[in-house]
Amino acid sequence: MVLKRLTHFHVLLILIAASFSSFTYGKTIVKSGSYGRSYEDRVLTSYKIVDDSYAQNELTKVLLITEGVHGNEYMGITNKLTQVNYWHQLPVTHPLKAFLKQAGVIYILPKVNPDGIERKSRFTYNGHDLNRDFLERKLNQQESYYLSEFVKEEIAPLSIKTKISVDLHCCGGKLLQAKDMNVSDNYPFITVLRGPEAMKVPVQHTRDHFKTFFPGTLKDYLHENFGFKAFTFENFEIDHPLRELEVLLEKILEFKSH
């Protein structure tokens, strides 16, 4: 009976809707994997988020989000981003969803230093600061070594030109660019919401923020060796860190190429 009520017009509408949705929006897929183990044998987990409309060789841009390099600054902001339900409820107009729809791929490494996170410590189990170990000649800690292998094996072969990375730290309220980048020339600050207030987040170099240069940061490593437009985001201590991150990523994705 139901079928009989369907006119040609209805069928046509259904067909148009079906072809439109399959053409415009594929399904967002979240794949998890392991890229190694920490010194204390904790799994180093990776997530790949992609729109299933695109084959691997059709991807045109990559966003890499890392969290927990310093265990004492870990906020769990990326937890929600690794849930498939988060992506399914996200409107297609949202910049992160739009990024996937435009053949982007997002990788998330939610706990770069799981032993440090467990102890709420800045350092690895061995007492090393991972954010000083990311030099090609160094990579002494297995957490940094496995991360570099992950990028070499998973991201570098994609031959994608547009690569953006954001390494999440806390809580200086700054966006730090890799040492050879000059995004701050055009964007001296970005505006994000903190509660009801608009906050200006300065875009700086590490040397502006700390008055010295630290070799071996993850952002410099990704910029120099793999051509990432690479940032450290010193988040705020805030109620809704995920929203801050979403706004931040929206702004970063708008940055003109440098």
Question: What is the SS3 assignment for 160-216?
Answer: CCEEEEEEEEECCCEEEECCCCCHHHHCCEEEEEECCEEEEEEEEEHHHHHCCCCCC
What is the bridge-based pairing of β-strands 43-51 and 189-194?
A: unpaired
Supply the minimum distance, in Å, between the C-beta of residue 155 and Zn ion: 22
Distance, CA of 86 to chain centre: 15
Residue 73 touches Zn ion, criterion: CB under 5 A = yes
- Sheet harboring 28-37: ordered strands across? 28-37, 43-51, 104-109, 61-67, 162-170, 229-235, 174-177, 197-205, 189-194
Binding region for Zn ion (CB under 5 A) out of 77-85, 132-140, 147-155, 168-176: 168-176
Burial bucket for residue 120 (CB in 10 Å: 0-12, 13-18, 19+):
exposed
Whichever of 51 and 73 has its CB closer to Zn ion, that residue is: 73
Tokens (6 digits) for 9: 């017009």
**End-to-end Cα distance, the chain:** 61
Q: Which is nearer to Zn ion, 127 or 196 (CB)?
A: 127
Fill in the DSSP letter of residue 147: H
Nearest residue (CB) to Zn ion, 169 versus 229:
169
Binding segment toward Zn ion, per CB under 5 A, in 99-107, 163-171, 180-188, 216-224: 163-171
Q: Quick one: which of 70, 101, 163, 251 contacts Zn ion (CB under 5 A)? A: 70
Q: How far is the CB of 201 from Zn ion (least distance, A)?
A: 16
Q: Please report how close the Cβ of residue 70 comes to Zn ion at its closest, in angstroms.
A: 4
Q: Is 169 in the site for Zn ion (CB under 5 A)?
A: yes
State which residue, 51 or 167, has the beta carbon closest to Zn ion. Answer: 167
Closer to Zn ion by Cβ: residue 38 or 217? 217
Closer of 73 and 246 to Zn ion (Cβ): 73
Query: Angle 142-150/218-226 helices, nearest 10 degrees?
Result: 30
Give least dist CB 166 to Zn ion, A: 13
Whole-number minimum distance, CB 176 to Zn ion, in Å? Answer: 10
Site for Zn ion, rule CB under 5 A = 70, 73, 169
